[in-house]
Amino acid sequence: MLRVLTGKEILEKGIVKEGYPQPVSVELPIKKLYKVTFSEVPLITNEKTFLPLYEKVKKVDGVRYLLEDWFVYVAELVECEMPSNCFGVLLPRSSLLRCGIIAQGTLIDPSFKGVLRVLIKPCIAVHIYENVRAFHLIVFCDDREFEPYRGQWQEK
């Protein structure tokens, strides 16, 4: 039977090693930010995705990032190790939306191991502090094992 883990259970199982437990999620911090430069056109095929180039965003005063309006950014969150009987969903916290940031979460497949990354696009210039809680990780687990993730983003 499929069930949702509590934030505390997500941390206790080691799915992520850091975050802020909530009743049905863990809030995850932004660890690094990259601006998508589009100096090369991305290419998506059925076999492989070729990403655009990223430029690391520097902090303006040692603790804050300035996100320019209408640019596209990739936020690096935390390491994740999803069990084979679970899958996860990343959703933006409402604080991002209320500040004019369009944020896109993603599905995290069973057995995925690696750094979680998400797309954000501010509609207005916004300052974001280092380690700000930005996304909810919701984890669903079942009694059965799922087919493991074997995509190109899996850490070897």
Rounded-to-integer distance, Cα 95 and Cα 107, Å: 21
Chain position carrying tokens 């990739």? 74
Q: Where are the domains of the chain?
A: 3-32+58-141
pLDDT of residue 75 exceeding 90, the answer is yes
Nearest to 86 by CA among 112, 115, 110, 113: 110
pLDDT of residue 154 exceeding 90, the answer is no
Contact between 95 and 135 (Cβ < 8 Å): no
Contact between 10 and 19 (Cβ < 8 Å): yes
* Average pLDDT over every residue of 109-135: 95
Rounded-to-integer distance, Cα 96 and Cα 126, Å: 10
Return the CATH number of 3-32+58-141, one of 2.70.40.10, 2.60.120.10, 3.40.1380.10, 3.40.190.10.
Answer: 2.70.40.10
* Average pLDDT over every residue of 77-83: 97
The larger pLDDT score, comparing residue 15 to residue 46, is at 15
Using 50, 70 and 90 to split pLDDT, how confident is the model at 150?
confident
* Tokens found for residue 77: 């969150």
Instruction: Quote the pLDDT of residue 48.
Output: 78
Global pTM reads 0.89
Q: Which residues contact 71 (CB under 8 A, 6 or more apart)?
A: 35, 36, 121, 122
Identify the weakest region by mean pLDDT among 8-17, 24-33, 48-57, 67-76.
Answer: 48-57
